[in-house]
Amino acid sequence: MSSIFGSVPILAAVAIQLLLLPSVVLSLNITNEYLHHACNNTQGKYKPGSVFEKNLNIVLKNISAFNLRNGYALDSNMNRPYKNIPPDTAFVMLQCRGDSYGSKCHSCLARALSELRKKCPRNKAGTIWYDQCTLDISTYSAGDTRVLYENYFCMDNPKALSGDTKMFIEKKKVFTDKLLSEVSKHGKNGKGPLYATGETMIGTKTLFGMMQCTNELYENSCYVCLDWIINEHPFCGRGKQGVRYLGRSCNARFELYPFLRT
């Protein structure tokens, strides 16, 4: 019996790997890494079987039935408008990246939720960031048009940039400004696109960029949020091949390879 696996011809194993290779390579650029989390300890913890836990589960169950076609959900066990919020009300905000709608958004939600529960066990509030979604749980509504400045961070791609760094910084700045104006363009009902992607040549390299605001924001707030988060981290990503800026209300990413689904 022990020889069954040992006797698989090496050639067959190699052939299997070769068959698997193309799809592996294609999917490597589209990652959904865990990036960061922030537990909110001010809002406290809930007890098992508590009213808050029940409310939270109702909201999460509700969201799991949404189609998430536009990659966004803000839901609560209370009705809108979210005013005079009773204690133990649960709010959940999910914003998926612009290329991660529908089932992709659902699977990001599932991952983010189980990880948030591990990282912030029984916290009534917390935020978790993945490449493809941001999930926020709270007892109060963050879901107005205000930019939320509480949690933000920057991560760089550890790979060093080769070549003319000074030119790269200048061209990246021009590209950043172009994406900023696109993502915060005026649209109907005051809502701009809230998601913009693009690419630009810098010397022989192609720089890919993406910017997104949560669906809660209007075009000027979207601009304000992204402009703020990028300028908060002037040295992040400098001399590196890529950078991610992440906040509760907006995020942006730049890389020298395509990292979005096309």
Ligand X SMILES: *[C@@H]1O[C@H](CO)[C@@H](O)[C@H](O)[C@H]1NC(C)=O
Binding residues vs ligand X (CB under 6 A): 25, 28-29, 38, 40, 42-43, 58-59, 62, 75, 77, 125, 140, 150-151, 257-258
- Report, in Å, the least distance between residue 98 CB and ligand X: 19
Closest separation in Å from C-beta 6 to ligand X: 32
**Closest approach of Cβ 257 to ligand X, in Å?**
4
CB nearer ligand X, residue 237 or residue 242 = 242
Question: How many CB atoms sit inside 10 A of residue 156's CB?
Answer: 18
CB of 2 to ligand X, least distance (A): 37
170's CB contacts (< 8 A; 6+ apart) are none
| Residue 35 beta carbon to ligand X: minimum distance, rounded to whole angstroms | 16
C-beta closer to ligand X: residue 43 or 220: 43
The sheet carrying 126-130 orders its strands as 34-39, 126-130, 133-138, 91-96, 72-76
Nearer to ligand X, 96 or 180 (CB): 96
Residue-by-residue DSSP string for 153-169: EEEEEEEEPPS-HHHHH
Give the span between the Cα atoms of 260 and 258, in whole angstroms. 6
> In the 8-state DSSP scheme, what is residue 45?
B
C-alpha pair distances (Å), 194 with each of 72, 161, 213, 214, 225:
12, 29, 5, 7, 11
Pick between residue 181 and residue 206 the one whose CB is nearest to ligand X. 206
Nearer to ligand X, 152 or 175 (CB): 152
CA 230 to chain centre: 16
147 CB neighbour count, 10 Å cutoff: 21
